[in-house]
C-alpha cells in the first residue's frame, strides 16, 4: 500500500513540475524518495551553480535553509521554494550576525572568511566565502600580514591553519552537532574490519573536518585516503578498483553510491551521521510545496548584494 502511495505521489510530482515549469534540486543527503524526483542532485554549491543555469523560473530546493538562500542570492530573478522552512543547520546556527559584528570590532582590519554553511546575513558580513575544498587556497590568497577571522567550523579552521602554517588566524568555536561525533576510532574500527577498504572523505561536509585534520596529521598513513568533492567522490568510487569503501559523510550519499555501483560495498564511517534537518523534507512536503507554491525564500537586496561579493570571490578561487 505504502509503495503504491509513494509511486502515485512521485507521478503527481513529475506532472506538476512539468505543468508549472519547476526544477527540483536535491542535496545528496536527502531521503532516497526525494532524490528520485529531483532533476539534479549534488552538494549545496554545485546545486546553487545549477540554479543559476537552469531555464526554469522556479526552483524547488530540497535541502536546508542556507542552501535555498544561496540559490536565491545567485539567481535573484528566480523564485526559490523550500519544502520546509524549519529545515535549518546546526553549524550555520553556531554564530549570529551580532556575534560576528562584535568579533570584527575586536579585530579591526582582519579579513573575515566564512564557510558556505552560513546564513545570508553572515555572508553579507564576510570578505570571502569558502568551501572545505578551497578553504586552504582562499586563506593562501590573503596577504600573510593580514589577521584572519575564520568561521564557523572549528575543525575546518584548525585544518586550514595546519595546512597553511598561518599563525594569525582566529577560529570560531562552531561545529555541526550531528557530524562532530564521527571519531577517528569509529573510522579505524571500520577500516580494520574490511579487507582492502578505501577511506573516502567528502570535503564539502562539516562532518569530515575532524578527519581531514587527522589526515593532515598522518593518522591514516597506512590506508588509501581520498578527500574529494561530492561529484569527485562519486566518480572516484565508480573508477576505483577497490570493492570496499568507508565513507565519511552524512549517510544520505550512500543511496547514490549503491545505485551507481551495485557490485561494491559502502559502509558509513558512522551510522549516526544523519542530519535530522535534511531528513525533514518528505515527498508529501515536496508535493505540497508544488501545489501551493508556498515557503518562498527571499533575501533582501542589500544583504544579497553584499553576500554575492563574498560568494563571487569564493567562486573565483578554485
Question: Per the annotation, does 92 bind a ligand?
Answer: no
Question: Per the annotation, does 236 bind a ligand?
Answer: no
Question: Per the annotation, does 176 bind a ligand?
Answer: yes
Residues forming beta bridges with residue 171, ordered by sequence position: 150
Question: Per the annotation, does 204 bind a ligand?
Answer: yes
Question: Per the annotation, does 133 bind a ligand?
Answer: no
The residue among 192, 205, 196 whose CA lies nearest residue 242 is 196
Question: Per the annotation, does 75 bind a ligand?
Answer: no
Question: Per the annotation, does 62 bind a ligand?
Answer: no
Question: Per the annotation, does 115 bind a ligand?
Answer: yes
Question: Per the annotation, does 116 bind a ligand?
Answer: yes
Question: Per the annotation, does 275 bind a ligand?
Answer: yes
Q: How far is CA 131 from the centre of its chain?
A: 8
Helix axis angle, 209-216 to 154-164, nearest 10°: 20
| Residues tagged in the binding site annotation for iminosuccinate | 27, 44, 115-117, 132, 202-204, 230
| Residues tagged in the binding site annotation | 27, 44, 89, 115-117, 132, 176, 202-204, 230, 275
| Residues tagged in the binding site annotation for [4Fe-4S] cluster | 89, 176, 275
Amino acid at each position: 500500500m505504502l509503495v503504491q502511495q509513494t509511486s502515485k505521489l512521485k507521478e503527481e510530482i513529475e506532472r506538476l513540475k512539468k505543468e508549472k515549469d519547476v526544477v527540483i534540486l536535491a542535496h545528496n543527503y536527502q531521503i532516497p524518495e526525494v532524490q528520485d524526483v529531483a532533476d539534479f542532485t549534488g552538494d549545496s554549491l554545485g546545486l546553487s551553480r545549477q540554479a543559476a543555469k537552469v531555464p526554469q523560473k522556479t526552483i524547488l530546493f530540497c535541502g536546508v535553509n542556507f542552501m535555498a538562500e544561496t540559490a536565491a542570492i545567485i539567481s535573484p530573478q528566480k523564485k526559490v521554494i523550500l519544502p520546509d522552512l524549519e529545515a535549518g543547520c546546526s553549524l550555520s546556527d553556531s554564530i549570529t550576525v551580532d556575534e560576528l559584528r562584535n568579533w570584527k570590532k575586536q579585530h579591526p582590519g582582519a579579513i573575515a572568511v566564512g564557510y558556505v554553511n552560513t546564513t545570508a546575513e553572515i555572508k553579507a558580513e564576510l570578505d570571502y566565502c569558502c568551501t572545505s575544498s578551497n578553504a586552504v587556497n582562499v586563506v593562501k590568497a590573503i596577504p600573510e600580514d593580514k589577521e584572519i577571522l575564520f568561521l564557523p567550523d572549528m575543525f575546518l579552521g584548525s585544518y586550514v591553519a595546519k595546512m597553511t602554517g598561518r599563525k594569525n588566524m582566529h577560529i570560531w568555536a562552531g561545529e555541526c552537532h550531528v557530524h562532530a561525533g564521527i571519531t577517528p576510532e569509529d573510522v579505524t574500527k571500520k577500516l580494520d574490519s574490511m579487507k582492502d577498504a578505501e577511506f573516502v572523505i567528502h570535503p564539502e561536509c562539516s562532518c569530515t573536518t575532524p578527519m581531514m585534520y587527522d589526515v593532515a596529521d598522518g593518522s591514516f598513513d597506512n590506508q588509501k585516503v581520498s578527500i574529494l568533492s561530492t561529484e569527485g567522490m562519486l566518480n572516484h568510487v565508480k573508477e576505483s578498483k577497490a570493492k570496499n569503501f568507508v565513507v565519511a559523510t552524512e549517510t544520505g550519499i550512500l543511496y547514490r553510491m549503491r545505485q551507481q555501483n551495485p557490485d561494491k560495498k559502502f559502509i558509513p564511517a558512522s551510522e549516526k551521521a544523519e542530519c535530522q534537518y535534511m531528513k525533514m523534507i518528505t515527498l508529501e512536503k515536496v508535493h505540497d510545496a508544488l501545489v501551493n507554491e508556498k515557503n518562498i525564500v527571499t533575501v533582501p537586496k542589500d544583504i544579497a548584494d553584499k553576500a554575492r561579493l563574498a560568494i563571487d570571490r569564493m567562486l573565483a578561487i578554485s
